[in-house]
Amino acid sequence: MAPPAAHRSGSNKRAQLGLFAGYVVAGTGALIGAILLVISLVSPQTFQGLRSMATDLAAPAGQAGAVGRTQGRSFFEAIAGYYDAGSKNAELEREIAIARVRLVEAEALRQENERLKGVLNLTLGETEPVTVARLIGSTSSSTRRLAYLSAGTNDGVTNGMPVTSPMGLVGRVLEAGSNSSRVLLLTDSESMVPVRRATDDVVAFAEGRADGSLRIRLINLGINPLEEGDIFVTSGAGGLFRPGVAVAMITQTTADGGIAQLLSNPAGTDVVIVEPIWQGEVLEDIEETVENEVAD
Amino acid sequence: MEQLNPRARSDPYGQKINRDHSPVLVHGIPWVTILLGSLTPMLPIIAAGPIVPPMGLIILVAWRLLRPGLIPLWAGFPLGLFDDLFSGQPFGSGILLFSAALIVLDLLEIRFPWRNFWQNWLSASLVFLCYLGVAAVLSGAKLTMLHFAVIAPQALLSILLFPIIASIAALLDRIRLMRVRHIG
ipTM: 0.82
Nearest CA to CA, how far is A77 from chain B (Å)?
18
Kindly list the domain boundaries of chain B, sorted by start residue: 10-182
Average pLDDT value for residue range B30-59: 89
* Residue of B50, B68, B92 lying closest to A3 (CB–CB): B68
What pLDDT is attached to residue A123?
52
What pLDDT is attached to residue A130?
87
* 3-state secondary structure (DSSP) of residue A246: strand
Q: Which residues of B touch A266 (CB under 8 A)?
A: 46, 48
* 3-state secondary structure (DSSP) of residue B10: strand
* 3-state secondary structure (DSSP) of residue B170: helix
Is a pLDDT exceeding 60 seen at residue A1?
no
Tell me which of A138 and A284 has the higher pLDDT. Answer: A138
Tell me which of A144 and A81 has the higher pLDDT. Answer: A144
Q: Measure the CA–CA gap between A25 and B99, rounded to whole angstroms.
A: 10
Q: Measure the CA–CA gap between B98 and B173, rounded to whole angstroms.
A: 22
Q: Measure the CA–CA gap between B176 and A168, rounded to whole angstroms.
A: 49
Predicted confidence band of residue A19 (pLDDT cuts 50, 70, 90):
confident
pLDDT in tens, A166-217: 888 889 999 888 888 999 998 888 888 999 888 888 889 998 887 888 899 8
What pLDDT is attached to residue B64?
93
Kindly list the domain boundaries of chain A, sorted by start residue: 66-120, 131-281
What pLDDT is attached to residue B94?
92
Highest mean pLDDT among A111-125, A266-280, B115-129: B115-129
Nearest CA to CA, how far is B98 from chain A (Å)?
8
| Element spanning A181, H or E | strand A181-185
What sign results for the dihedral spanned by CA atoms A258, A262, A267, A268? positive
DSSP per-residue codes, B66-115: HSTTTS-GGGHHHHHHHHHHHH-SPTTHHHHHHHHHHHHHHHHHHH-SS-
* 3-state secondary structure (DSSP) of residue B65: helix
DSSP per-residue codes, B30-76: HHHHHHHHHTGGGSS---SSS-S--HHHHHHHHHHHHSTTTS-GGGH
Q: How far apart are the first and last CA of chain B?
A: 22
A43 touches B at CB < 8 Å:
no
User: What is the pTM assigned to this prediction?
Assistant: 0.82
CA angle B84, A145, B131 (to 5 degrees): 50
Q: Which residues of A touch B40 (CB under 8 A)?
A: 140-141
Nearest CA to CA, how far is B1 from chain A (Å)?
32
Average pLDDT value for residue range A6-26: 81
Is B68 in Cβ contact with A40 (below 8 Å)? Answer: no
What are the residues whose beta carbons fall under 8 Å from the beta carbon of A205, sequence distance 6 or more?
Answer: A192, A193, A194, A195, A216, A217, A219
Task: Find, among A238, A66, A56, A70, the residue nearest to A162 by Cα.
Answer: A238
Average pLDDT value for residue range A221-250: 84
Average pLDDT value for residue range A233-256: 85
Average pLDDT value for residue range B30-51: 87
pLDDT in tens, A26-58: 999 999 999 999 998 888 888 888 888 888 888
What sign results for the dihedral spanned by CA atoms B40, B45, B48, B53? negative
What pLDDT is attached to residue B147?
79
Q: What is the 3-state secondary structure (H, E, C) of A194-231?
A: EEEECCCCCEEEEEECCCCEEEEEECCCCCCCCCCCCE
* Residue of A33, A138, A148 lying closest to B95 (CB–CB): A33
Q: Are A38 and B88 in contact (CB under 8 A)?
A: no
Is a pLDDT exceeding 80 seen at residue B122?
yes
Q: Measure the CA–CA gap between A265 and B56, rounded to whole angstroms.
A: 27
* Residue of A6, A32, A38 lying closest to B69 (CB–CB): A6
Tell me which of A103 and B34 has the higher pLDDT. Answer: B34
Is A142 in Cβ contact with B50 (below 8 Å)? Answer: yes
Predicted confidence band of residue A90 (pLDDT cuts 50, 70, 90):
confident
Q: Which residues of A touch B85 (CB under 8 A)?
A: 50-51, 54-55
The mean pLDDT value of chain A amounts to 82
* Residue of A7, A54, A61 lying closest to B110 (CB–CB): A7
What pLDDT is attached to residue A254?
86
Is B113 in Cβ contact with A141 (below 8 Å)? Answer: no
The DSSP output letter for A278 is B
Predicted confidence band of residue B38 (pLDDT cuts 50, 70, 90):
very high
pLDDT in tens, B91-102: 899 999 999 999
The DSSP output letter for B177 is T
What pLDDT is attached to residue A197?
87
Is a pLDDT exceeding 60 seen at residue A281?
no
The mean pLDDT value of chain B amounts to 89
Is a pLDDT exceeding 60 seen at residue B24?
yes
How many helices (H) and strands (E) in chain B? 6, 4
Q: Measure the CA–CA gap between B116 and B183, rounded to whole angstroms.
A: 36
What pLDDT is attached to residue A283?
58
Q: Are A156 and A130 in contact (CB under 8 A)?
A: yes
Q: Measure the CA–CA gap between A171 and A26, rounded to whole angstroms.
A: 39
Q: Measure the CA–CA gap between A164 and A243, rounded to whole angstroms.
A: 12
**CA closest to A61 among chain B residues:** B42
Q: Are A69 and B125 in contact (CB under 8 A)?
A: no
Tell me which of A265 and A219 has the higher pLDDT. Answer: A219
**CA closest to A26 among chain B residues:** B74
Q: Which residues of A touch B140 (CB under 8 A)?
A: 41, 44, 144, 190
The CB density around residue A56, as the number of other CB atoms within 10 Å, is 16
**CA closest to B103 among chain A residues:** A26
Is a pLDDT exceeding 90 seen at residue A9?
no
pLDDT over 70, % of chain B: 100
Domain topology for A131-281: Thrombin, subunit H (2.40.10)
